[in-house]
Structure 1
Amino acid sequence: MNKLALQWFDEAYQCLVTQGLSHWLQTLPAQLAAWDKQGQHGEFDKWCRLIEKLPDLPAQDVCIKDGVRIGEATNISEHQHKQIEGLLRQFMPWRKGPFDIYGMHLDTEWRSDWKWDRVVEHISSLKDRKVLDVGCGSGYHLWRMLGEDARCVIGIDPTELFLIQFQAIKHFIGPRPVHYLPLGIEQMQPLQAFDTVFSMGVLYHRKDPMQFLEQLKLQLRRGGELVLETLVVEGDTSTVFMPTDRYAQMRNVWFLPSVAALTLWLERVGFKNVRLADVSVTSTQEQRATPWMQGQSLADFLDPEDPTKTIEGYAAPQRAVLIATRK
């Protein structure tokens, strides 16, 4: 296993032991060994070497309460600023953020801070809670969860570039009880240990949404809270939309339920107190191309004559946040 990745995972193991999650170690080391054996992205070792080239700077002026900001431009030299920017650009595209690092604004495709602002006022306090984020992307929300005084935060996502992006940011923030593991939910044993589980932007990518909701439930202790964000459509308890091929140019979109149908799904798999926290149409200000994500983005996937529709003619993306309690 890559030496740097091994160090990251060893730190995660230590955290699990101290946070009452040691039973995860019955399966996790073998799963990460299998992840290593199957081989990583062809650039993975290169990315790790680039992380090791990031300048070692004291973790100072770190703010994760109302954003993710690290240091001030005046804390580093012009050479260090160029070095940091040049290295972080090697990890493009950056999709979830934004991050401010020593005066450099890393403007990601998604304004993930907007989504967090819509969510955080509706959830239970995260203070002293053990939190899992399923499909955490580059980990932006992991830092915001810690900023709400979570006891420990674990993110899982199988995308290796996201792992690298998370570790690049953590390099500057310094040691914290926040860890990223390159796993999918289907690899998770039923830990039944987390106080809060987040899953934002994953459900519609699953061929079996009921199984996915069951898997999320089994990571929560009884009475724990699920925060679920996903694409939805208008309709009643029987309304579920499945695109014939692509949706907003995404191939891997399967089921888009109405809020009422999703509420019923959650209740059927063992949740109670299901409540709607937010419904909003995704705007081209919230998801867009930037100098840090230069490919196509939402504006390219909407009908140029009618932005209320995708280019396939479906209703434009609308997202809902539902919160529920495990029975």
Structure 2
Amino acid sequence: MSGFDWQACYGALFQHLDSEGLESWSCLLKQQLTKRFDTNPHGDIQRWQQAWQQLPEFANVSADLTSSAVALSSPDCSDANQRQTEAALRGLMPWRKGPFDFFGVAIDTEWRSDWKWDRVSPYLSDLSGRQVLDVGCGSGYHCWRMLGAGAQRVVGIDPGLLFLFQFLSVKRYLSTAPIDLLPVRMEDLPPKLECFDTTFSMGVLYHRRSPLDHLLELKDTLRRGGELVLETLVVDGPEGYSLMPEDRYGQMRNVWFLPSCDTLLRWLDRAGYRNARVVDVTDTTTDEQRSTDWMRFQSLADFLDPEDPDKTIEGYPGPKRATVIAEKP
């Protein structure tokens, strides 16, 4: 057993699911979390939990969920508290999605995830009062921004347990916030949930062997009239064109299909969405994804052709990301 008290961590979510008539999901989730934390825990979970538990307690915590960095502050923070905070958070490295600011400790993450949010957010339906799902949410940076944009409740899913403890480092100080990160995969969700008003899938589609199945799974999470926000790698090309890498793409092993924008829209149409439209296409640069003091491993600059940075090290077109918004009929 890991010793992690997941029942206390997710108690409010279980109550919410039960009150919404989603008792079957609540029951399934308890079984999945029992297996994840008690039956077969990750080998590093005690180390991550120890780092998380070393975060100091503060009174009078306030949060800014609307600026570039998800930021926590307290007038009670001393220099000693700040040093303790930084030591604990460094125990949860590498930090890939952000940025965050914990009581003056600025975490410069590998990705400037705020840039992606700034590209996407102008095209969203108003999130006020909406139930939101974020698939492949990483450390939950975008989940916090969704809550800051007015969402009534946010659920993120990502199987990475390090991401969970990074998320819980914020939740530790905002314990009553209606937001949770579940360490599960898309295929672990019950079929035909149909309980979310907005579902995000950003940076996931190209990791799926069957992109159409992923689009159908996402549609099953939405209520009628719900909104899908999809962001994925794309390539230039006509309708019907899709790049399937021979092995790796930008040193990533599990990349399957990079469609053209027109092909992506056709996929959404065939999956039964309506009003699908591309709202942004942006090249990913080494300013947006790079190594930092909080993520010291290789990053995008190491995955591009040193002679031609417009190509990956394998010779494929460099990373370009498109955001598409569509509705469930």
TM-score (norm 2): 0.95
Q: Distance in 2 between matches of 1:306 and 1:320?
A: 22
Aligned to 2:309: 307
Q: For residues 248-259 of structure 1, what are the structure 2 equivalents within 5 Å?
A: 248-259=250-261
Residue number in structure 1 paired with 2:196: 194
- Per-residue deviation, 1:33: 2.2
Aligned amino acid, residue 188 of structure 1? L
| 1:275 Cα deviation after fit | 0.8
- Give the aligned partner of residue 235 of structure 2: 233
| Contact 1:75 1:102 (C-alpha < 8 Å) held by counterparts | no
CA distance in 2, matches of 1:38, 1:231: 36
Name the residue aligned to 1:280. 282
Residue 123 of structure 2: SS of its match in structure 1?
coil
CA drift at 1:26: 4.1
| Distance in 2, Cα, partners of 1:150 & 1:59 | 23
Query: 45-54 or 252-261: which moved more?
Result: 45-54
Q: Please give the secondary structure, in 2, of the residue aligned with 1:27.
A: helix
Asked if 2 retains the 8 angstrom alpha-carbon contact of 1:233 and 1:258, the reply is yes
CA shift digits 1:195-246 (9 cap, x unpaired): 0000000111111111111110000011100000000011122101000011
1:127 counterpart residue number: 128
Please tell me whether the aligned partners of residues 59 and 76 of structure 2 are also in contact (alpha carbons under 8 angstroms). Answer: no
Give the Cα separation in 2 of the matches to 1:4 and 1:57: 21
Q: Provide the rounded CA distance (Å) in 2 between the counterparts of 1:135 and 1:21.
A: 22
Distance (whole Å) between structure 2 residues aligned to residue 26 and residue 7 of structure 1 = 15
Question: Distance between the aligned counterparts of 2:255 and 2:39, measured in 1?
Answer: 26
State how far apart, in whole Å, the 1-side matches of 2:55 and 2:78 are.
14
Q: CA deviation at 1:31?
A: 2.1
Distance 1:39 1:256 in 2: 35
CA distance, structure 2, for counterparts of residue 197 and residue 40 of structure 1 = 29
Which stretch shows the higher mean deviation, 47-56 or 262-271?
A: 47-56
Which of the residues 297, 300, 321 maps onto 1:298? 300
**1:85–1:19 CA distance, 2 compared to 1 (3 A):** farther
Residue of structure 2 equivalent to 1:151: 152
Structure-1 separation of matches of 2:245 and 2:60: 47
- List runs of 5+ in structure 2 lacking aligned partners: none
Describe the shift of the 1:59–1:122 C-alpha distance in structure 2 as closer, same or farther (beyond 3 A).
Answer: farther
Give secondary structure in 1 for the equivalent of 2:322.
strand
Q: For 1:246 and 1:283, how far apart are their aligned partners in 2?
A: 19
Following the alignment from structure 2 to structure 1, what is the Cα–Cα distance between the partners of residues 208 and 177? Answer: 31
Question: Residues of 2 paired with 1:200 and 1:58: CA distance?
Answer: 35
Q: Deviations over 1:237-272 (max 9, x none)?
A: 210100001100001111111111111111111100
Cα pair distance change 1:146/1:59, threshold 3 Å: farther
CA distance in 1, matches of 2:114, 2:272: 30
Query: In structure 2, what is the Cα distance between the partners aligned to 1:248 and 1:298?
Result: 8
Q: How large is the RMSD of aligned CA atoms in angstroms? A: 1.5
Give the whole-Å Cα distance in 2 for the aligned partners of 1:170 and 1:57. 13
Kept after mapping to 2: 8 A contact 1:59/1:70: no
Q: Which residue of 2 aligns with 1:16?
A: 17
Alignment of 1:112-123 (within 5 A): 112-123=113-124
1: CA distance, partners of 2:20 / 2:100:
28
Q: Quick one: which amino acid aligns to residue 260 of structure 2?
A: S
Bigger Cα displacement from structure 2, 61-70 vs 231-240: 61-70
Question: 1:40 aligns to what?
Answer: 41
Aligned identity (percent) is 51
Indicate conservation of the 8 Å contact 1:40/1:160, yes or no: no
- The Cα of 1:132 is off from its aligned counterpart by 0.3
Partners of 1:20 and 1:277 in 2: CA distance: 35
Tell me which moved more, 285-294 or 60-69.
Answer: 60-69
Q: What amino acid is the match of 1:144?
A: R
Deviation at 1:59, TM superposition (A): 4.9
Mapped partners of 2:16, 2:181: distance in 1: 12
Distance 1:148 1:21, change over 3 A: farther
| 1:96–1:137 Cα contact (<8 Å) kept | yes
Moved over 6 A (4+): none
Which residue in the other structure is 1:96 paired with? Answer: 97
In the aligned structure 2, how far is the partner of 1:199 from the partner of 1:257? Answer: 16
Supply the AA of the counterpart residue of 2:180: H
In the alignment, the residues of structure 2 paired with residue 90 and residue 263 of structure 1 have an alpha-carbon distance, to the nearest angstrom, of 42
Partners of 2:50 and 2:5 in 1: CA distance: 9
1:49 to partner: Cα distance: 2.6
Contact 2:212 2:271 (8 Å CA) reproduced: yes
Could you tell me which residue of structure 1 aligns to residue 80 of structure 2? 79
Asked if the contact 1:15–1:177 (Cα under 8 Å) also holds between the matched residues in 2, the reply is no
| TM, length-normalised to structure 1 | 0.96
In 2, the alpha carbon distance for the partners of 1:232 and 1:61 equals 39
Give the C-alpha shift of residue 18 in structure 1.
Answer: 4.5
| 2:225 equivalent to 1:215 | no
**Most deviating of 48-57 and 219-228:** 48-57
Q: Decide whether aligned partners of structure 1 residues 142 and 290 sit closer, same or farther in structure 2, where only a CA change above 3 A counts.
A: same
